[in-house]
Amino acid sequence: MILDYTAETKFLGIHVTETLKWKSHVQSLASKLSKVSFMIKSLKEILSPNMILDIYFTKFQSLLRFGILFWGGMGGELNMRILRIQKRVIRSMAGVSSRTSCRQLFKELNILTLTSLYILEMISFIRQYRQSVELNSNVRTYNTRRKMDIHIQSYNTEIYKKKKCNKLGD
């Protein structure tokens, strides 16, 4: 069996590129979330607020949470695109104008923002696999204020060498 080279593939529902950029995945996710957004907006007049909230959690938030450990920490414009869709849905559910701030609406509806969901998933992951996580105190023998932080292994690769923050000693 001969496998053809491809720069991008969909693996377990997550679009992965050879450079591990998440633009294609976020575009696909934004499309799915927009469809759910339209569904919620259409059903808002027919269903009760509790049913709409249930639809949000089962359809919208489940899409947000899937694979967020991979793509959620990228920040920038791609995350903002998803957050804008989330805010649009929240405003639609609350029946307010598009200029209304969502900060209080998130609290009233007990909904986490995209960033909060990422932090929750990251903490849950670390807590679940805490035996596999190495602390700085296990790696270094000297006592520092960062001894209880998670040890992050640095790698000596060409990409690592090219980063500006890693050239400070040169």
pLDDT in tens, 25-77: 888 899 999 999 999 999 999 999 999 999 999 999 999 999 888 888 777 88
Domain boundaries of the chain, sorted by first residue: 8-133
Crossing angle (nearest 10°) for helices 23-43 and 76-94: 10
At residue 81, φ and ψ (nearest 5 deg) are: -60, -45
Instruction: State the pLDDT confidence band at 8, using cuts at 50, 70 and 90.
Output: confident
Q: Which of 70-79, 123-132, 158-167 has the weakest average pLDDT?
A: 158-167
For tokens 């035996």, the residue is 131
Quote the pTM value: 0.75
d(CA 42, CA 2): 47
Residues 39-47: contacts with CB under 8 Å, at least 24 apart: 40/89, 40/92, 40/93, 41/89, 41/92, 44/92, 44/93, 44/95
